[in-house]
Amino acid sequence: MKIIRERDGVSEQADPANFVGRASVRRLGDLDAAGTARGFLVSFEPGGRTNWHRHTGTQLLLIVEGRGRVQSEGEPVREVAAGDAVSIAPGEKHWHGASPEAAMTHVAINLDATTEWLERVSEETYRGLE
């Protein structure tokens, strides 16, 4: 799992040869896929989260509102916020959701991916206590 923080991003001016008007571009990540991309807008209430799961292809999460938490198996729980992006590798066991105190909305883009749903994320794991 890789988190691309909004604050760490480098915005570049779009090439005026290809754009009318000023526009800035920030690269969020490279996604290698040749097949179908499926997009989902998912809104979690505070404390809400997915079960643990895996995708057969890459998943890119674009946090568009609020604050949330993500975790890859064997790594700590990490906080994310609007403007951050998270890329998740094929087969990586993980979960994503809101923070305990705030809602979170993300766009999920799944590339050539089906999802294998696994066990629930325990309260202790969600709180980062284990």
- Report, in Å, the least distance between residue 102 CB and Mn ion: 20
SS3 content of the chain, % helix, strand, coil (to 5): 5, 45, 50
Which residue carries 């568009």 as its tokens? 64
Cβ proximity to Mn ion: between 14 and 72 the closer is 72
The interface with Mn ion within residues 22-61 (CB under 5 A) comprises 59
Q: Which is nearer to Mn ion, 14 or 64 (CB)?
A: 64
Site string for Mn ion, 59-98 (x = CB under 5 A): x---------------------------------------
Q: Tally the C-alpha atoms within 13 A of residue 50's C-alpha that lie toward its C-beta.
A: 22
- What are residue 123's phi and psi, to 5 degrees? -60, -40
Dihedral sign for Cα atoms in the order 10, 99, 93, 107:
negative
**How many CB atoms are located within 10 Å of the residue 100 CB?**
14
Q: How many residues bind Mn ion (CB under 5 A)?
A: 1
Query: What's the closest the beta carbon of residue 26 comes to Mn ion, in angstroms?
Result: 22
Q: Which lies closer to Mn ion via its Cβ, residue 14 or residue 90?
A: 90
Judged by CB, which is closer to Mn ion: 12, or 119?
A: 119
State the residues that interact with Mn ion by CB under 5 A.
59
